[in-house]
């Protein structure tokens, strides 16, 4: 079961492996964008990512180690989308802002993101999917 921190770690690794520089990253105990990256050797593009996990990252919570419920998952997707749209609206020094959400690749997350997939593409919002093995796939209206 992937926590938000696990999702962030895997997406950062994927981005580095595909030529991005991680400008900043936040854990669940920090504030700010979860991931900010720029393309190495390419000026003018900044990628901002809002991540969610499949279970709580806090050992003291009742959901720690348990999957989020079918009623919690759509709330997390909605929160991530709201944050992504807000991140898109914030100015950057790098020119173009690309935004994405990152989720564990679970049936529940796929179901709820699938419902809004066409809208995400129209809005320019990408999605990083992280499976249990740590493999990352991307569904985005722009090239990674």
pTM for this prediction = 0.92
- Identify which of 101, 110, 105 has the alpha carbon closest to the alpha carbon of residue 131: 105
Alpha carbon distance 120, 122 (integer Å): 5
Q: Give the pLDDT of residue 84.
A: 97
pLDDT score of 40: 65
Going by C-alpha positions, the residue among 133, 64, 79, 140 that lies closest to residue 109 is 79
Q: Per residue in 28-76, pLDDT tens? A: 888 889 999 998 666 789 999 999 998 767 677 676 677 787 888 999 9
123: tokens are 């809005």
Asked if pLDDT for residue 14 goes beyond 80, the answer is: yes
pLDDT in tens, 1-10: 899 999 999 9
**Residues 100, 87 contacting (CB under 8 angstroms):** no
Are β-strands 125-130 and 96-104 bridged in parallel, bridged antiparallel, or unpaired? parallel
Separation between Cα atoms, residue 87 and residue 45, nearest integer Å: 14
For 65, the token pair is 């180690």
Q: Average of pLDDT values for 71-92? A: 94
Least confidently predicted of 18-22, 59-63, 82-86: 59-63
Q: Pick the residue with more confidence: 102 or 40? A: 102
**CATH for the stretch 4-57+77-134:** 3.40.1350
């Amino acid at each position: 079961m992937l926590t938000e921190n696990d999702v962030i770690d895997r997406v950062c690794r994927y981005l580095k492996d595909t030529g991005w520089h991680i400008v900043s990253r936040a854990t669940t105990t920090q504030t700010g964008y979860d991931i900010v990256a720029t393309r190495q050797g390419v000026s003018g593009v900044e990628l901002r990512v809002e991540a969610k996990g499949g279970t709580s990252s806090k050992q003291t919570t009742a959901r720690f180690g348990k999957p989020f419920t079918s009623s919690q998952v759509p709330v997390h997707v909605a929160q991530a989308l709201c944050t992504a749209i807000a991140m898109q609206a914030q100015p950057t020094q790098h020119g173009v802002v690309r935004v994405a959400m990152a989720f564990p690749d679970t049936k529940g997350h796929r179901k709820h993101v699938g419902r809004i997939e066409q809208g995400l593409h129209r809005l320019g919002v990408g999605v990083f999917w992280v499976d249990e093995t740590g493999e990352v796939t991307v569904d985005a209206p722009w090239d990674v």
